[in-house]
Structure 1
């Protein structure tokens, strides 16, 4: 059991030109703030069974966390877990829990600015809206319910072999996000250009207007999102000796069953989809590692696989690249241990110079630089010296 008290503060002071609005944008105000939190945490590990038939050991774990923020109040989260070691070969495990993420000091007090968001609306021919974006001091915490269950198998007949299979299911509410600007404009501005749906909290916060053909509104981050995701993670690892060498192999594979995310007021399943700004959600991702080690050197090969995906924003015939193919990257690296204190290392990433797939919905990048390797093949060398 432990107790913790923590405080954080931040401030944002724009320059005088920005504050007066003498540049190309509207005036920007400074902001400052802080929060304080008291937390109490309790964790227990309770043995239930030991050395009986079909149960070498069974252990229950429990935890509770109470927190009190001066910004949004107090709450309690909990966790229950069960680990059942059937024998030396098989172990079962499961965990159910609640969780939360408090807004960061930057999300609360990081200040606001002006963004020219792409917005299409029948009230104007202009393709961009003047949107005030940024932090929100009224944010509450993100909350989640999680469940995981898995099995570990280490067969006695094959020493060094381990297989792990885990299932996860996560539901996140009150996710801190910025609402899609097109959705705000469509909801809060009529085709004639007058404000509508003023009884909705969304439109009250937006304070939308049309001035000289320019749509203007406020769209700060808020507790509006919902995310539901589930899937299976599989790992197989094998360690053995061959010709005096220590060899380690592992294969990690993730199967995405569901990734629902709130978009424009409704849940959209992003499984197997790639987006322009909300990430990529391949149904299968896999990493293969093979390492060889001797007394004074080691070498590693890694293969990274990303399954093909469909562009969430267009269908076949509507854009140049409605889908992206699967991609596999290969990396190699090695180290030579000169002494106990000196190590020489080097490697080549993207060994076969695999080019990133063409994807037209990511601004001017022609691909997704957060998912794919955009540099191409490159090498590196390192020298590590311990004094």
Structure 2
């Protein structure tokens, strides 16, 4: 374990001073979870169900840590979406959000889920969004649709923030309680229920550093009740405008600090690598475009001087695609929600709730590159195997055939980026509907109350994506091919791919540029029944239980455009996916009181849970959990839990067909002064240089996948010292620490592509070397990365919390809420027994695991005024320089350090009941100091890690809420 940084040491010392007495007694402490709203509810109810247990109890502090984000916490954050709220928890990892400009750049991930452009997910403990279960009112929500695959996680943007009463976050394994996916934890979103009257809220926000990114919205709701009925209706509208990457300095270059060295070889002028059949000379050239033979460094395969209209291709010719991207993607969301409850008798009631959500979003990438030739690596026969550009093609300037066919092909690479066709634009329309109906009631067994409920859910998320700016390779093949064949083909126009920027006319584009339309959907059908109550009285209290049955059916499909299915699409290819499976489950949970009011403490309770799951895909799975809750005294609670968990393979992971994503890889054999023996063994010739840093990697699902298995351990305590209750200096003080540990085996994943390449070259690892092929010129032309149950994931760490409320004074009331997460271990071991690069303190693949994250909320109230100041700290990270090695930005060996950063958020609000039922005005600024995120060299887009850091600059906002 690394030594503590000065930030960690300072925080640890402060916490130890606060917690010295209990920490001396405890091997591990747990996370405090006091929430004012929840505590008030507990005073009015005999029992309450808390996330992490199906048993209704009087205690809100259970044997597992649950963090409760109240409505006050949500409003104080200044955020307008559920994802922004949960992604800023200290235990959160790299979740997808609207700062990811994803589809055209990331392609198709190995899990078959596509990239949910415009979607937002939650990741706990850095274990991935697929290992977090999202519930709404204790019941599963439908998985997202992205129109580019069958998603495996919930899109939080389908749940409007305005309908939420609170969010309960269980940061512990809970598969025995809830079934698959609850490995890293559970996010349970509780909707508003007890509402009396109507409300209108308007909001507006803006990123001060940019000319775009304005956000605005409106929420309208109405609720009420009679003696037997209760209802709540709400409508929500939200719009976020886009910000161009060209507006941010670090996003204007492919890799910050490297100029064009890591730019694309697919340029508006074009790059052409071929062999002259008359001389045997290999050329790597680009058009002069009116400039006479610039003094570029000559390449080994190109003469030092040319007498035609071309010159040797060099670094200055590379293309900077980055300004065409988006720093913030646009999103427009509309939703309506309603729920009605009716009490048939005092012990029998029913409910219906429904939601409809519609999202329109978009993302954008640079003009789509066209790669042709034997070294193109695009896995397309029209580009790599069947292309012949004859000497008599109208725009062939070389006087001989260029061919990829036969025993001696001479066309190795054409890289042309037709800026004439404009950038790639992906526009999504996503419609989600959800209906949940149920019955619930109570009855007595003797003098013991029992509760029951039955629930039914039907839900669907459907997405359509329209892609402008892509190309049809079959039509490009025809337009570059035999002039007679093109002339005989209706609509075919010969293509000038050699003439430099501006040479492709509108008529040519009309032939080769289609509008591509894809769609996907996810469906969920669920039925459940639950029963809970006290079985009998034991020596230390009643033995409580919960038992139930659940049936779920998942259906999903992804249907790409017909030209993609036909293999004609020039963009990232993929096959259609369709599949379904169902599961039957039964569970039993027991709460066993072992001790009460003895010399050893107030109480000691044992919790036991077991679940049996039978899947139509792989068979059955059993999971169990055991927990202890020891109330040593009124002020001190110790708790521990050990749990088994699992995650079933998803539809995309099982049934996803061959698809491709373009990974940014640094070939370790590229540009070496002398070819090393390892590279010679890998088939690399002298003078080899990687033509393109984006390598096409093919992946697919695997029907032989087994479920992932996990084991989770939690140890901890909560200490609420009595000397801090109603004292002159304190009304209430809660302190806690949690130790967590997760181990996942048979993890479903594809090996890291860069690690495969590095292992093969360095160690000649047979499995790694079998994953890819090189052409005779050394270029990587095949790279397979198929899903499997590979390796293990081990992670552990600590959560530290402190909540302090000061007595009310003439100058108001102060309170502090401090939460910290320290990741002490994260280890991913691959199928070869080697450790992958992802670990604490490291930035890799657009996601980071900071060793230390901390959030301190200081809140002040005085009459109608409230002021909140939030500090969010993210510790520094290191990353390998990759393509930036040797440049001044990466002059400390091969490591770039991303410095630690502290964000400051300030909010001021004022409310009065004098206007109708109430008027509340709020104004705030997030990232008050206007800090830019640290520069990331390995991140695919925009020069920073969008899953870890805020957008550059300040975000200010204003809200007005009117109750009547």
TM tier, smaller: 0.7 to 0.9
Q: Which residue is 1:282 aligned to? A: 850
Q: Which residue is 1:370 aligned to? A: 947
Report if the CA contact (8 A) 2:576-2:656 is conserved. no
Change (3 A) 1:90 1:184: same
- SS of residue in 1 equivalent to 2:564: helix
- SS of residue in 2 equivalent to 1:91: strand
Q: Which residue is 1:298 aligned to? A: 866
Q: Which residue is 1:348 aligned to? A: 925
Correspondent of 1:82 among 612, 622, 628: 628
Deviation at 1:136, TM superposition (A): 3.6
Correspondent of 2:739 among 124, 142, 167: 167
CA distance in 1, matches of 2:951, 2:638: 41
Alignment RMSD (CA, Å): 3.0
Change (3 A) 1:70 1:211: farther
Q: Which residue is 1:242 aligned to? A: 808
CA distance in 2, matches of 1:215, 1:260: 31
Alignment of 1:120-131 (within 5 A): 120=667, 122=679, 123=683, 125=688, 126=690, 127=692, 128-131=694-697
Deviation at 1:111, TM superposition (A): 4.5
Q: Residue deviations 1:127-177, cap 9 Å, x none?
A: 554322244443322211111100211111111011101111111112222
Unaligned stretches of 5+ in structure 2? Answer: 1-546, 670-678, 726-731
Deviation at 1:70, TM superposition (A): 1.0
Correspondent of 1:141 among 685, 692, 707: 707
Deviation at 1:296, TM superposition (A): 2.6
Change (3 A) 1:377 1:134: farther
Deviates more, 1:364-373 or 1:74-83: 364-373
Change (3 A) 1:281 1:116: closer
Alignment of 1:1-387 (within 5 A): 1-24=547-570, 28-117=574-663, 118=665, 120=667, 122=679, 123=683, 125=688, 126=690, 127=692, 128-159=694-725, 160-184=732-756, 197=766, 208-210=772-774, 213-244=779-810, 245-262=812-829, 265=832, 266-268=834-836, 270-277=838-845, 279-312=847-880, 317=891, 322-339=896-913, 340-386=917-963
Deviation at 1:28, TM superposition (A): 4.0
Deviation at 1:311, TM superposition (A): 1.7
- SS of residue in 2 equivalent to 1:293: strand
Report if the CA contact (8 A) 2:560-2:575 is conserved. yes
Deviation at 1:61, TM superposition (A): 0.5
Report if the CA contact (8 A) 1:257-1:271 is conserved. no
- TM-score, normalization by structure 2: 0.37
Change (3 A) 1:346 1:26: closer
Q: Residue deviations 1:290-344, cap 9 Å, x none?
A: 1122443322110011112222567974668621221111001132224344432
Deviation at 1:381, TM superposition (A): 1.0
Deviation at 1:3, TM superposition (A): 0.6
CA distance in 2, matches of 1:71, 1:88: 49
Q: Which residue is 2:260 aligned to? A: none
- SS of residue in 2 equivalent to 1:18: helix
Report if the CA contact (8 A) 1:239-1:247 is conserved. yes
- SS of residue in 2 equivalent to 1:157: helix
- SS of residue in 1 equivalent to 2:724: coil
Q: How many residues align?
A: 379
CA distance in 1, matches of 2:718, 2:857: 19
Report if the CA contact (8 A) 2:757-2:769 is conserved. no
CA distance in 2, matches of 1:57, 1:191: 58
CA distance in 2, matches of 1:42, 1:345: 46
CA distance in 2, matches of 1:54, 1:86: 7
More strand by share: 1
Deviation at 1:240, TM superposition (A): 2.1
Deviation at 1:115, TM superposition (A): 2.3
The structure with higher relative contact order (CA 8 Å, sep 6+) is: 2
Report if the CA contact (8 A) 1:178-1:220 is conserved. yes
Rg larger in structure = 2
Deviation at 1:382, TM superposition (A): 1.6
Report if the CA contact (8 A) 1:119-1:181 is conserved. no
Q: Residue deviations 1:327-382, cap 9 Å, x none?
A: 11100113222434443222100011122122222135222222122231110112
CA distance in 1, matches of 2:596, 2:711: 31
CA distance in 2, matches of 1:191, 1:171: 28
Change (3 A) 1:182 1:276: closer
Change (3 A) 1:378 1:318: same
Deviation at 1:216, TM superposition (A): 1.4
Deviation at 1:217, TM superposition (A): 3.7
Change (3 A) 1:307 1:296: same
Deviation at 1:219, TM superposition (A): 1.8
Report if the CA contact (8 A) 2:846-2:939 is conserved. no
